[in-house]
Amino acid sequence: LCPPGVLPLCCRLPAWDRAARPPPSPPQPPGLPLAPCRSFSNNKIQVELDESSGVAMMKFKSPPVNSLSLEFLTEFSISLEKLENNRACRGVIITSAVPKIFSSGLDITEMCGKSIEHYTEFWRAVQEMWLRLYGSNMVTVAAVNGSSPAGGCLMALSCDYRIMAENPKFSIGLNEAQLGIVAPFWFKDTFVNVVGHRVAERSLQLGSLHPAPEAHKLGMVDELVPEEKLMEKAAAVMAQWLALPDHARQLTKTMMRKAVLDRLVAHREEDIKNFISFVSKESIQKSLRMYMEMLKKRRS
């Protein structure tokens, strides 16, 4: 166990000190306050930054189910990095523009019939998304306005705060085991940090998808609100978190999350190799093809 970046008790810093933040992006032309963000919200994710509040909104708009394709993940990581480097942005709310679904998790088509190079690139993009989101210096709030299985659940769990629409038809969970799948260790670490070892062990083994009220009871989401109040509530929570000086909050967040982040960083290539070795098996490829055909039939 490495020394955890020993952090001393210290005193009030010059307010909103940004020393720990990466260097800011170059200044934007006047009169276009939202341009730097809107410019990169091209396909899958709509990004809007309100410079007056310092809060960005990232809306997933990749119908039908916001699945985490290579393109989606790449766009997500780039968008997040741009916001991270933008001094005008201090917090991000992630939510879905697709009705009833937050995100369906990893895109299975990315794992089927592709080259080793593709699998490598895809898995690295999954890791990258998590490393950036779980380790973000910004305040991150998930406004979960639909179901959120597997990788979608991971995205919510990686934020600082989770608000979910109280609709019991919406469910959330790391349900990989239901599909004969095992969640990677860093999915598990993130889950344990939120709900503790026992709840995680049971939920992961059963591959449970918890309806919103149950997810709230288990501590998977912090709050339930009526769907029409979700964005309002997310903004209020964000304002509460932004009332804290950034520097102290960021160092505190790092102190809490560093061990788990470091663990993936240390085993990243091994994790990729394991994924490739698994996904390359003929039996797995066969199962994947069957699963995709089943999905196609269900939709038509």
| Pick from 207, 209, 157, 153: nearest CA to 182 | 207
Q: Is 7 in the site for a second copy (CB under 8 A)?
A: yes
Binding residue (CB under 8 A) for a second copy from 131, 192, 239, 261: 192
**Least CB distance from residue 105 to a second copy, whole Å?**
9
Backbone phi and psi for residue 21, each to the nearest 5 degrees, phi listed first:
-85, 150
Q: Which position among 91, 175, 207, 209 bears the catalytic label?
A: 175
**Least CB distance from residue 23 to a second copy, whole Å?**
19
Verify whether residue 151 is a known catalytic residue: yes
Q: Which x/- pattern, by CB under 8 A, does the window 98-117 give for a second copy?
A: --------x-x--x------
Q: Is 223 in the site for a second copy (CB under 8 A)?
A: no
| Stretch 171-190 residues interacting with a second copy (CB under 8 A) | 176-185, 187-188
Q: Which position among 106, 154, 218, 224 bears the catalytic label?
A: 106
Verify whether residue 175 is a known catalytic residue: yes
Q: Which is nearer to a second copy, 34 or 192 (CB)?
A: 192
**Least CB distance from residue 30 to a second copy, whole Å?**
31
| Pick from 37, 34, 29, 94: nearest CA to 68 | 94
Q: Is 279 in the site for a second copy (CB under 8 A)?
A: yes
Buried b (16+ CB within 10 A) or exposed e, 99-117: eebbbbbbbbebbbebeee
**Least CB distance from residue 68 to a second copy, whole Å?**
11
| Stretch 145-164 residues interacting with a second copy (CB under 8 A) | 150-151, 160-161
| Stretch 240-269 residues interacting with a second copy (CB under 8 A) | 240-241, 244-245, 247-249, 251-253, 255-257, 263, 266-267
Verify whether residue 157 is a known catalytic residue: no
Q: Which is nearer to a second copy, 35 or 244 (CB)?
A: 244
Residues known to be catalytic: 106, 151, 175-176
